[in-house]
Structure 1
């Protein structure tokens, strides 16, 4: 029962963060969103530090920690209202240095030095928000490379777990299941690669990069399988991740106005899809009718959630979901990779671990809420545009940027996997392919 409430609480917290930060950007503008995300980051940084510094047997520390944990449901809406009330700015004013200089010149003659330094639009506010903005922008490559590194850890652990399942199985059932799973992953990746090839904004240089990347990934996966140092599970996951990176790069390109116009023209030339079967349409109509019968409060809440999710670009949600999964798994999978035991997946990262990498991950896991807020805000800033909507700004367009670092991440991930294959030892008894030979 305790685990159930913990899962529900974590889900509500995640949903609150995912919805409230883009609302602050969409309603109040860039400064409002930065102020809200920075205040949330600081609150959870203090909360995590208190939890980390509190001894297990300290009653005072336990009370303070529980108080901060309970107060977050009041702190989050309070900080949101505070940021919307104090930091809503003009959408066309995006340069924080200009706002700082303009703030000094725009102050009333009766303004005191306290207003210039600590007042609305003063030095402290501009420097604080500007530093947070620049920190998030400069951290974007770090988050991107960390995503690739954690993905590689997950891939290695998945391959090791598949070997463990095959070696301890008394039949070929697990071999067949894992081979079918690998084939399904590769087929799905090929489908999305085909979708990328149909994007109207791909130039000759883009096509060359895609060809070189996919070819290198295929050869690397084949070498891993044939040498016995990899297996189909690792190879399929690596190929799928490379395709995911390519898909993310070119879906951000599609958000440009020229690409959207070309995509709309291409969609207009396509034939319309045939209608769905009558049983599906009838079920859909019944479901819509049931939603209309819901109480007004429930219906308004669902409409609010729908409107809130509409402010977020789909690529942001995909990137956030994927990074949360791999970052969370990396804190539990590294022990399994190093200790060759699937039971390590059930252990929490500890600061008392003898391994330095495990201690670092255990330390970072304590500050996961602050890391989540910074990663999410960095993704939102990549899609923030100061002139893309009727309100003067939007979170669904803008110059996503960072494509150079995404290509660097792809190359670094494949290079690390190649080094792992080169340094790894031939394990003739653990591969899925060699399992058929030993039988």
Structure 2
């Protein structure tokens, strides 16, 4: 029962973070979103630091953890209201250094306390500017960590599939795994075909795509042919390379809304669904319209919150959460060769340095999640002085260099693993990526 409540509370926490941070950016502006993100990250950093410093059996730790865990339901909306109330309008200058120097050189009839600690003061400007720069410079780190954790997950899946094949009913498992690998490869080839038909790909982009996919194909083929890999590993690696390429050419490009608006303005010749389904849909809309005003307003607010997030941000966040979670929970279980480790929290008292590092990352995972999500939002959105304010970037692929670097680094690490590995492949993950 307790594990179910933990899942529910974790899902609510994740949903509140996913919705509240873009709402702060969209409603209050850039400074409001940065202040809210920094306040949330600081709150959960203090919560995690207390859990790390205090002993596991301490009553003080238990009491503080319970108080902070219960107070987060008040802290999250309180910090959101505070950020929207204080930082509702962005400053004119987009560079925090210029804003700080402007505050120093401009003479105002204010006291030193207000000039340093007040609204728009030096401390506030430097803090938000430093948080902004930290998130922007940490974007390549998150990108490279995504590739490294993905490679670890792929190798762990390869070990699990080999264990399934060797434990019995090998023919059945081989057929099932081949079907899964073929489905993954077919899906990857489909999205690669879509990338090849994008009209805005020039010659340099085509050369990069060709070299990358050719290298990935021969690397996967070598892994299968040499016996140091398997079809599941190769298909997952190929699919990840295609995912990176697809994100490079779709994430930062503006959507063509003119044709969509024209199609929306003209009614369709035929209904999209049969009449009985359309009638049921109209009845459902009428029932929803008759709901109490508070419920209707709550649903409208939830819908507006989801509208502030682009699908590319959600996909990137979901994928990073998946690989980071697998790297902190599934990888130790595979290294210890036991499924019981999946149900246990990583401990800081482990003698192995890798387990100690994973335990530390697990404790500070809420702060890392908030920083990673805000970094993704800053990559996909930007501010301007026009009427649109905080909008989706149009054709400014600022993170593409690091995406290509991530692809090259991931394939290089996998090539090194194949070169250093052996045919039985049982100890490839634990030996080559183990930290002593």
> What is the TM-score when the length of structure 2 is the normalising length?
0.90
User: Secondary structure at the residue paired with 1:222?
Assistant: helix
Q: CA deviation at 1:393?
A: 2.2
- State whether structure 2 residue 322 is matched by structure 1 residue 325: yes
Q: What is the CA deviation profile of residues 127-149 of structure 1, one whole-angstrom value per residue up to 9, with x for unaligned ones?
A: 11111111111100000000000
Change (3 A) 1:380 1:251: same
Q: CA deviation at 1:304?
A: 1.3
Aligned alpha-carbon RMSD (Å): 2.7
Partner in structure 2 of residue 246 of structure 1: 245
Q: CA deviation at 1:195?
A: 1.6
Q: What is the CA deviation profile of residues 383-402 of structure 1, one whole-angstrom value per residue up to 9, with x for unaligned ones?
A: 22223874422256584511
Gaps of 5+ in 1: 431-439
Structure 2 distance, partners of 1:98, 1:285, is 55
Partner in structure 1 of residue 213 of structure 2: 214
1:306 to 298, 303, 306: 303
User: Secondary structure at the residue paired with 1:93?
Assistant: coil
Partner in structure 2 of residue 101 of structure 1: 101
Structure 1 distance, partners of 2:252, 2:260, is 14
Q: What is the CA deviation profile of residues 69-96 of structure 1, one whole-angstrom value per residue up to 9, with x for unaligned ones?
A: 1101111111111111112233653111
Structure 2 distance, partners of 1:273, 1:403, is 42
Partner in structure 1 of residue 203 of structure 2: 204
User: Secondary structure at the residue paired with 2:250?
Assistant: helix
Structure 2 distance, partners of 1:264, 1:287, is 26
Work out whether residues 118 and 125 of structure 1, in 8 Å CA contact, stay in contact via their aligned partners in 2.
yes
- State whether structure 2 residue 374 is matched by structure 1 residue 377: yes
Structure 1 distance, partners of 2:16, 2:70, is 15
Q: CA deviation at 1:308?
A: 0.8
User: Secondary structure at the residue paired with 2:382?
Assistant: coil
Q: CA deviation at 1:291?
A: 3.3
User: Secondary structure at the residue paired with 1:385?
Assistant: strand
User: Secondary structure at the residue paired with 2:318?
Assistant: helix
Q: CA deviation at 1:44?
A: 0.3
Structure 2 distance, partners of 1:303, 1:196, is 35
Q: CA deviation at 1:306?
A: 1.4
Partner in structure 2 of residue 34 of structure 1: 34
Partner in structure 1 of residue 430 of structure 2: none
Partner in structure 2 of residue 422 of structure 1: 419
Structure 2 distance, partners of 1:262, 1:244, is 27
Work out whether residues 228 and 422 of structure 2, in 8 Å CA contact, stay in contact via their aligned partners in 1.
yes
> What is the TM-score when the length of structure 1 is the normalising length?
0.89
Q: What is the CA deviation profile of residues 241-268 of structure 1, one whole-angstrom value per residue up to 9, with x for unaligned ones?
A: 001101111112422xxx7489979x99
Alignment of 1:9-24 (within 5 A): 9-24=9-24
User: Secondary structure at the residue paired with 1:223?
Assistant: helix
Structure 2 distance, partners of 1:74, 1:159, is 44
Partner in structure 2 of residue 338 of structure 1: 335
Q: CA deviation at 1:288?
A: 3.7
Change (3 A) 1:178 1:67: same
Structure 1 distance, partners of 2:385, 2:315, is 22
Per mean C-alpha deviation after superposition, the further-off stretch among 411-420 and 342-351 is 342-351
Q: What is the CA deviation profile of residues 120-179 of structure 1, one whole-angstrom value per residue up to 9, with x for unaligned ones?
A: 111111111111111111100000000000000100001110111111122522111111
User: Secondary structure at the residue paired with 2:249?
Assistant: helix
Structure 1 distance, partners of 2:223, 2:64, is 52
Q: What is the CA deviation profile of residues 99-122 of structure 1, one whole-angstrom value per residue up to 9, with x for unaligned ones?
A: 1122234453x2111121111111
Structure 1 distance, partners of 2:271, 2:323, is 38
Change (3 A) 1:134 1:429: closer
User: Secondary structure at the residue paired with 2:126?
Assistant: helix
Work out whether residues 254 and 260 of structure 1, in 8 Å CA contact, stay in contact via their aligned partners in 2.
no
2:292 to 295, 298, 316: 295
Q: What is the CA deviation profile of residues 341-387 of structure 1, one whole-angstrom value per residue up to 9, with x for unaligned ones?
A: 45543443222222211210111100000000000011111122223
1:348 to 331, 341, 345: 345
Gaps of 5+ in 2: 428-436
Structure 2 distance, partners of 1:217, 1:273, is 46
User: Secondary structure at the residue paired with 2:251?
Assistant: helix
User: Secondary structure at the residue paired with 1:351?
Assistant: coil
